[in-house]
Amino acid sequence: MIRRVLRLTTGRIAFGILAAIAFLAAFGPLLAPYDPLEGTTDILANPSGAHPLGTDYLGRDVLSRLLDGSRVSVLGAVQVALLALVVGVVPGILSVYFGRAFEWVTLRLADTLIALPFLVFAVAVTALLGNGIPQAMFVVGVMVSPLFYRVARAATLSVARSQYVEAAIVAGASVGWVVRRHVWVKVLPPIAVALANTTGVGFVVVSSLTFLGIGVQPPAPTWGGVLAADLGYLSFQPWAPLVPTALIMATVWACNLLADAIRDVTGEAGRALLNTRKLDPGKVTNGSPVAP
Amino acid sequence: MSLEVSDLDVHYGRTRALRRVSLSVAPGQTLGVIGETGSGKSTLARAVVGLVRPSAGRITVDGEEVTRYRARQWRALRRRGVVQYVFQDPLRSLDPDVTVEDSIVEPLLIQGRPRREAADRARRLAARVHLDEELLSRLPGELSGGQRQRVTVARALVTDPRVVILDEPVSALDAANRVRALELLKQLRDAGTALVFISHDLGSVAGVADRIAVLYQGGIVEEGPARTVVNAPRHPYARLLVGSAPTLRSAAADRAQREELRELLQNIGGPA
């Protein structure tokens, strides 16, 4: 599937941006020219040769903080999305097949999570499990999982009663076979879209938790954290929030592009599009001749 | 008997879709089931392959009593590939995201046969149903209606079944392909496969079926050798069907006769 995504221009752009961001996450902390935590007297400086992106309200080099924070930010968002994927998608698909009781319980759980006030839940979990990045990611992942649950369940329901699934059942297919062979492909595109969205939401939520002192602890930099700090000094450096915003936006945008590309190459329409490009026009309508 | 159904009742909620239906098909025999939309044809087929649970009666497939089978027992029976069902709508019964070849060999892959053997079998079956080999790598959406129908027939034959139920198998085919499809069915019959051929059109069944059952409002109103049902139908509905069949020239009734029969049908109502 990755090869097919790469055949689309949107897919290539998305992969390019995501690769750059992955590079930042992997090597960003090593590339930082200054210690991201060390303050200087040169506060709120404008960009210069020494500080390409200026300094913040404690005189810390913004470029270093962004580079150093990229790992925590990206990993955090990815963790949130993957946790939500596992916690949401698996029960979402199984709720269609595992009988009434399982369906009822998971549906009510999803409703409860949607109804639960986010911050109260976050505070309760940190009180229970202690404060830390994994706990914060866990909270956010669980809180957004109902989205995945609902999307996966809706996509599965639309396939479960289709005739080709019945045909597979008549051929002796088990639930596992039906899910692997027929359901999964239909569930994947909407899930990819939800995943891309959630990754974006993850960035924002992780930084808002940082603001409350949950998860990433204040001196440690994150993209969201840098953005939050910049907003406080808008009158001194009105341009400053643009840099972390651009990073977050590029990531979310690339995720959305990737989601679109996945949707285009899965689904029937996408396959047909790619196939007609590959075939020469004269061969598209071959096969046995149609009787006059 | 390859397939035996006795006193079968099927309910959808409070609606009774089938009423005391009894029929049997011997190996190598073809039973035509005809009836109008809503007469219970498809319900009968779905009950026989276990997609619908009967509320009363008995079903025996290839010597096994399956009426009270649980999901696991059904799965074991289906995996042996003894009974296959060709769905009415070839487009909807093929997964749009699965290639033609994978659709055809799916029953084999479910049985756990190796891929290479399955691919081999797909090519031979494609030839048998007159499907170009290069179409095997296509998706169903890239095929014509007739080609898709042949794909569904090929899928049903892939396990060498003892019983094949065909739901309107030739309705989407043009004249030339229809003849080929019927030819293929005759070959199957000669190989000892029992066929249940479901259609709303008497003309397409009369030529291939040994026996014909006429389904009307969920019950069988007439059953007998094909020749008898076509030439000397007794029940008014069967007479109406024969009279309306445009392909059976000699048997075509005139308009007055058909109206008379419709009136008669209304007076006697459905089967008891």
How far apart (Å, rounded) are the C-alpha atoms in residues A58 and B145?
A: 71
Task: Domain of residue B74: give its range.
Answer: 3-82+161-268
What ipTM was reported for this prediction? Answer: 0.83
B147 & B166 share domain: no
Q: Could you tell me if A176 lies within 8 Å of chain B, comparing CB atoms?
A: no
Contact at 8 Å (CB) between A145 and A81? no
Same domain assignment for residues B169 and B69: yes
Residue B179 in domain: yes
Residue B135 has its nearest CB partner, among A267, A275, A287, at A287
Q: Using a CB-CB distance cutoff of 8 angstroms, which residues of chain B are in contact with residue A289?
A: none
In angstroms, what CA-CA distances link B35 with A131, B96, B105, B219, B220? 70, 30, 32, 10, 9
Please tell me whether residues B69 and B185 are part of one structural domain. Answer: yes
How far apart are alpha carbons A67 and A127 in whole angstroms? 31
Element (H, E) at B227: helix B226-231
Domain span including residue A223: 2-274
Q: What is the pLDDT of residues A117-130, one digit of tens each?
A: 877 888 888 888 88
Neighbours of B51 (CB within 10 A): 15
Q: Encoding tokens for residue B56? A: 């009363």
Q: What is the mean pLDDT of residues B165-187?
A: 76
Domain harbouring B175, CATH code: 3.40.50.300
Instruction: Tell me, yes or no, whether B135 and B178 share the same domain.
Output: no
Same domain, B77 and B165: yes
Instruction: Give a yes or no: residue A280 inside a domain.
Output: no
Nearest CA in chain B to A270: B97
A82: exposed, middle or buried (Cβ count in 10 Å: 0-12, 13-18, 19+): middle
The verdict on a CB contact (< 8 Å) between B97 and A185 is: yes
pLDDT at B254: 66
Tell me whether residues B155 and A167 touch, CB distance under 8 A.
yes
Task: Give the integer Cα–Cα distance in Å for A67 and A36.
Answer: 9
Are B251 and B117 found together in one domain? no
Residue position matching structure tokens 């994947």: A188
Residue A283 pLDDT grade (very low, low, confident, very high; cuts 50, 70, 90): very low
What DSSP element (H or E) covers B78?
A: helix B71-79
Nearest chain A Cα to B174, which residue? Answer: A291
3-class SS shares of chain B: helix, strand, coil, % to 5: 45, 25, 35
Q: Determine the pLDDT at residue A187.
A: 84
Asked, for residue B87, whether it belongs to a domain, the answer is no
As a whole number of angstroms, the distance between CA A272 and CA A266 comes to 10
Q: Which residue has the tokens 């027939």?
A: B153
Q: Give the residue from B160, B185, B201 where a domain finishes.
A: B160
Q: Are residues B133 and B185 in the same domain?
A: no
From B114, B142, B160, the end of a domain falls on B160
> In the listed set B116, B145, B160, which residue is the last one of a domain according to the structure?
B160
Which pLDDT band holds residue A286 (cuts at 50, 70, 90)? Answer: very low
Q: Out of A57-66, A180-189, A266-275, B16-25, pick the least confident.
A: A266-275
Q: How many contacts (CB atoms, under 8 Å) link A and B?
A: 95
| Contact list, B78 vs chain A (CB under 8 Å) | 169-172
Write out pLDDT tens, residues B64-75. 888 888 888 888
Examine the domain organization and report whether B172 and B213 are in the same domain.
Answer: yes
| Chain B contact for A272 (CB, 8 A cutoff) | yes
Model confidence over A220-246: pLDDT tens digits? 788 877 887 788 888 888 888 888 888
Nearest to B238 by CA among B256, B220, B250, B255: B220
- Residue A273, chain B, CB below 8 Å: the answer is no
- Residue in A162, A167, A287 nearest the CB of B144: A287
CA distance A175 to A96: 10
Measured between CB atoms, does A13 come within 8 Å of chain B? no
Q: What are the strands of the beta sheet with B211-216, ordered from one edge?
A: B83-86, B163-167, B194-199, B30-34, B211-216, B219-225
Residues of chain B contacting residue A291, judged by C-beta atoms under 8 Å apart: 174-177
Total domain count for chain A?
1
| Shortest Cα–Cα distance, A237 to chain B (Å) | 53
Lowest mean pLDDT among A58-67, A215-224, B3-12, B95-104: A215-224
Q: Is residue B148 less than 8 Å (CB to CB) from chain A?
A: no
Contact at 8 Å (CB) between B206 and B212? yes
Residue B134 and residue B143: Cα distance in Å, rounded?
A: 11
Task: Check CB contact under 8 Å for A288 and B142.
Answer: no
pLDDT digits (tens, 9 = 90+) for A71-112: 887 888 888 888 888 889 889 988 888 888 999 999 999 999
- Hey, are the CB atoms on A172 and B107 less than 8 Å from each other? yes
Q: How many domains does chain B have?
A: 2
- To test the contact with chain B by mutation, choose from A97, A162, A166, A170 the residue with the greatest count of B C-beta atoms within 10 A, namely A170
Spatial separation of the C-alpha atoms in residues B86 and B77, rounded to whole Å: 17
Are residue B213 and residue B235 in the same domain, yes or no?
Answer: yes
A:111-140 residues touching chain B, CB 8 A cutoff = none
Burial of A259 (0-12, 13-18, 19+ CB in 10 A): buried
Spell out which residues of chain A touch residue B95, defining contact as CB-CB under 8 Å: 164, 181-182
Read off the pLDDT of each residue in A16-30 and give the average, rounded to a whole number: 86
Q: Which residues of B touch A171 (CB under 8 A)?
A: 78-79, 81, 84, 106-107, 110, 155, 159
Output the 3-class SS for chain A.
Answer: CHHHHHCCHHHHHHHHHHHHHHHHHHHHHHHCCCCCCCCCCCCCCCCCCCCCCCECCCCCEHHHHHHHHHHHHHHHHHHHHHHHHHHHHHHHHHHHHCHHHHHHHHHHHHHHHHHCCHHHHHHHHHHHHCCCHHHHHHHHHHHHHHHHHHHHHHHHHHHHCCHHHHHHHHCCCCHHHHHHHHHHHHHHHHHHHHHHHHHHHHHHHHHHHHHCCCCCCCCCCCHHHHHHHHHCCCCCCCCCCHHHHHHHHHHHHHHHHHHHHHHHHCCHHHHHHHHHHHCCHHHCCCCCCCCC
CA-based nearest residue in chain B for residue A173: B110
Q: Do residues A195 and A81 make contact, with C-beta atoms less than 8 angstroms apart?
A: yes
Task: Tell whether B167 and B254 lie within a shared domain.
Answer: yes
Q: Give ∠ CA B197-A172-B192 in degrees, rounded to 5.
A: 40
Q: Which residues in chain B have Cβ-Cβ distances shorter than 8 Å to A166?
A: 51, 87, 93
Report pLDDT for A107: 92
Residue B35 contacts residue B214 (beta carbons within 8 Å): yes
Residue A272, pLDDT score: 47
* Of the partner residues A166, A287, A288, the one whose CB lies closest to the CB of residue B51: A166
**Chain B touched by A157 (CB under 8 Å):** no
**Per-residue pLDDT tens digits for A122-172:** 888 888 888 777 787 888 888 888 989 998 998 888 888 888 998 898 888
Q: Hey, CA dihedral for B128, B199, B236, B240, is it positive or negative?
A: negative
Q: Identify any residues that bridge with B211 across adjacent strands, giving them in sequence order.
A: B31, B225
Shortest distance, CA A199 to any CA of chain B (angstroms):
27
Strands B219-225, B211-216: pairing is antiparallel
Strands B211-216 and B30-34: parallel
Q: Is residue B202 part of a domain?
A: yes
Which one-letter amino acid corresponds to residue A1?
A: M
Q: Is residue A6 part of a domain?
A: yes
Instruction: Evaluate whether A21 touches A199 at the Cβ level (below 8 Å).
Output: no
B49 and B181: one domain?
yes
Chain A residues with CB under 8 Å of B52 CB are none
Residues 6+ apart with CB under 8 A from B142: A272, A275
Listed in sequence order, the residues at least 6 apart from B269 whose beta carbon sits closer than 8 Å to its beta carbon are: none
Q: Which residues of B touch A164 (CB under 8 A)?
A: 92-95, 98, 103
Task: For residue B88, tell me if it sits in a domain.
Answer: no
Record the pTM. 0.72
For residue B170, what are the CA distances in angstroms to A133, B101, B183? 63, 21, 12
Q: Is residue A288 one of the residues assigned to a domain? A: no
3-state secondary structure of B166: strand
- Kindly state the DSSP code that residue B252 receives in the 8-state scheme: P
CB distance B158 to B121 below 8 Å = yes
On whether residue A281 sits in a domain, the answer given is no
B110/A271 touch (CB, cutoff 8 Å), yes or no: no
- The reply to whether B69 and B155 lie within a common domain is no
CB atoms closer than 10 angstroms to residue A197: 17
d(CA B156, CA B140): 16
